[in-house]
Structure 1
Amino acid sequence: MKAIVLREKEELSVEQRTAPSPKIGEVVIEVKATGICGTDLHIFHGGTGSTSVSYPIILGHELSGIVIEIGEGVTSLQVGDRVSIDPNIYCGECRFCREGRIQLCDRLQAVGVTRNGGMAEQCAVPAANCHLIPNGMSFEEAALVEPLGCVLHGVERLKLRSGASALVVGGGFIGLLMIQVLKLYGVSPIVVSEPDAAKRERAIEFGASAAMSPREVASSKAWVSLGVCDGFDIVAECVGRQESMEQAVHSSAKGGQVLLFGVAAPGISIPLYPYEMFAKELSVLGSFINPHTHSQAISLIAQKRVNVSSLVTQRFTPEEVPDAMAAYGSLSVIKSLIVY
């Protein structure tokens, strides 16, 4: 089979590999679509993903396809099933798994991070991680279920009320998903902070009440016309940069909740002022992966309550991926997919 293999930091190549065989409890899927995620880019440039990476590895944790081979002990699936993959594999034995906080598993494994993933024509995955998709759902949509599931988990960490104001920092793929999910909860107004004018326009298309440059957002005068006078009740940081995380904290209202959703490099730090947190009674929250949200994400996409397909701006063949990953920062991308 054809596979895109990361052999070392920034050394990606298209190779012929032996097709995988399913182990007990696994199936093999013919991959139809795979998303390129910010986590893939972190790993490509030598960073970590949801957990540590060992080379060589086939990346790709946002994937969908058709079951083509069934392993021993699998009774829930059959050849021909159309599936979306939840990539995260939990041990079920550590204290976090036993407490129901599976995303904090001490022995977390992940398709496309610790084991070969979807940047290949075929991929072996645990049957338990396969979710059937409706006939009306495209494989491209099914590949984007995982990131929506992550956003759903992040939003579920917040205490939301209808009419709460929100600032979404970052108008990229995750920011546009965040807008749509917050709207489902009745959050309004939703303001987006984004330096790129084209992305600001997209944010309005996907339901933002207003989209401003970070400099405009830094001026509280820009909020007044939206009925936001003293900061935002909810701030969702969807970038992972120092300056955007600082903006998120400082833009919150008294009693505000700050969700640091963007994946920051491990060495990044920001100043936190204890008196500000005390005086505002701020809640600053993290969010990690997608526990128990994959089925919900499938349902929201299938019902057209969240639009993911319109966010795809680039589609690559496997042969195009090494050059695309190397040049990714210079591309105007909302979301890209590898299609087979």
Structure 2
Amino acid sequence: MLAAVKTETIREIILENRDIPSLAHGEVLINVDYCGICGSDLHAFNHSKGYEFVNKPIILGHEISGKVVECNDPESEYLIGKKVIVESMHYCGHCENCKNSRYSICESNKCIGLHFDGGMAEFVKTKSKYVREIPDGLPLSIAALSEPLSIAIHAVNRAGEINQGQTVLVQGPGIIGFFVALVCVEKNAKVILSGLERDYENRLSKCLDFGITPHIADKSSLSEKVDIVFECSGSNVAVKNGFNNLKKGGRAVFVALYEQDTNLFLTQLVRNEWPIITSYGCGPVDYVSAFNILQKYQNKLNNVVGFYPLSKVNQAFDNSLNQDVLKAVLSME
């Protein structure tokens, strides 16, 4: 099979011919159709701080959609021929957090494509317990977006109640920020998606068709303070600006991962009773909600995705790093 392999050299991915993975008990083989490029893939590509655990060479990719073509136990035979996605976070199911349905912070969590080979290849194997069937009528190309949308859904649920009449500021117009904004629109909130002037053409402008208000942070200030801030940019400057835009008693939800330390003046947070809420990853139930939203918006979502053949994987990574595309997705066709 053809695979895109991240080497030990920074910012290097090469195409290699690899053996199709052999299956152990409980595993299935998926013929990959699409695999999205996530921010975590970009961090691994850059050898960023916090991603030292990624052992290279490795096949990246955890936003996977495709068809099951082989299994290794009778219990999984029903999956053969099914269109599926793969849950990115491979939780143990036995630790205290898993028993309390907090799968995203499983004590033994592993992420496909970061801890072991993932989906930027023609075939990928995984345990059948992490496979979810795609609903009828949802294209494989759009189903590949279920993982980043699930992360956004998990973040919005972590924020607590959001309803009509509240104003939400989402900082960072990448795909996670965009999806967080979209989920908040589904809750009838007034939603502002904030980015820089350079983000407008390829990112912020995409939100206009979804009931989201774009805001260029380096050109003007918000006219009113907001009830909730979702920090999805990973920028230290944005972290501090977010609190400046937050009402007293508002909520700040941190979704991004950061490459540098961030300093906060905690006295300001205490005096305004601003709780800091963090959100990481997603759990199985989030994919159910994600499928519903993807089905509703599937036609419009085609306009926010840039599709690249696997042979153009380096261009897809470069365009993602340069923010020339809101969401890059590799096609194995």
Q: TM-score, normalised to structure 1's length?
A: 0.89
Q: Aligned pair 1:302/2:295, yes or no?
A: yes
Aligned counterpart for 1:178 among listed residues 177, 180, 199 = 180
Structure 2 equivalent of residue 325 of structure 1: 317
Q: Measure the CA separation in 1 of the matches of 2:155 and 2:75.
A: 32
CA apart distance, 1:303: 3.5
User: Structure 1, residues 44-99: CA drift from partner, whole Å, max 9, x if none?
Assistant: 11136789211121000001000000112533733210101112111223332233
CA apart distance, 1:262: 1.7
Structure 2 equivalent of residue 261 of structure 1: 255
Q: Measure the CA separation in 2 of the matches of 1:311 and 1:328.
A: 13
Moved more, 68-77 or 133-142: 68-77
Aligned-partner residue type, residue 130 of structure 1: V
Q: Measure the CA separation in 1 of the matches of 2:140 and 2:25.
A: 26
Structure 1 equivalent of residue 4 of structure 2: 4
Q: Measure the CA separation in 1 of the matches of 2:277 and 2:52.
A: 20
**Residues 263, 137 of structure 1: alpha-carbon distance in 2 compared, 3 angstrom cutoff:** same
Query: 1:148-297 counterparts in 2 under 5 A?
Result: 148-159=149-160, 160-188=162-190, 190-195=191-196, 196-198=199-201, 199-208=203-212, 210-217=213-220, 219=221, 222-223=222-223, 228=224, 231-265=225-259, 268-292=260-284, 293-297=286-290
Q: Aligned pair 1:78/2:76, yes or no?
A: no
CA apart distance, 1:256: 0.7
| Maintained 8 Å contact 2:142/2:298 | no
Q: Measure the CA separation in 2 of the matches of 1:331 and 1:275.
A: 35
Structure 1 equivalent of residue 114 of structure 2: 113
Aligned-partner residue type, residue 339 of structure 1: S
CA apart distance, 1:327: 5.7
User: Structure 1, residues 84-126: CA drift from partner, whole Å, max 9, x if none?
Assistant: 1112111223332233322111211121111111100000011
Q: CA RMSD in A?
A: 2.1
CA apart distance, 1:305: 8.1
DSSP 3-state at the match of 2:257:
coil
Aligned-partner residue type, residue 97 of structure 1: C
DSSP 3-state at the match of 1:22:
coil
CA apart distance, 1:325: 2.3
DSSP 3-state at the match of 1:116:
coil
CA apart distance, 1:300: 2.0
Q: Measure the CA separation in 2 of the matches of 1:123 and 1:94.
A: 27
Q: TM-score, normalised to structure 2's length?
A: 0.91
User: Structure 1, residues 184-230: CA drift from partner, whole Å, max 9, x if none?
Assistant: 11212x2222113323322233212x32221355x3xx41xxxx3xx
Aligned-partner residue type, residue 214 of structure 2: A
**Residues 216, 44 of structure 1: alpha-carbon distance in 2 compared, 3 angstrom cutoff:** same
DSSP 3-state at the match of 1:53:
coil
Structure 1 residue runs of 4+, over 6 Å off?
A: 48-51
| Maintained 8 Å contact 1:77/1:127 | no
Q: Measure the CA separation in 2 of the matches of 1:90 and 1:77.
A: 23
Structure 1 equivalent of residue 23 of structure 2: 22
Q: Measure the CA separation in 1 of the matches of 2:135 and 2:174.
A: 27
Aligned-partner residue type, residue 294 of structure 2: I
Aligned-partner residue type, residue 202 of structure 1: K
**Residues 279, 194 of structure 1: alpha-carbon distance in 2 compared, 3 angstrom cutoff:** same
Q: Measure the CA separation in 2 of the matches of 1:259 and 1:69.
A: 41
Structure 2 equivalent of residue 125 of structure 1: 126
How many residues of Structure 1 are paired with residues of Structure 2 in the alignment?
326
| Maintained 8 Å contact 1:311/1:334 | yes
| Maintained 8 Å contact 1:166/1:234 | yes
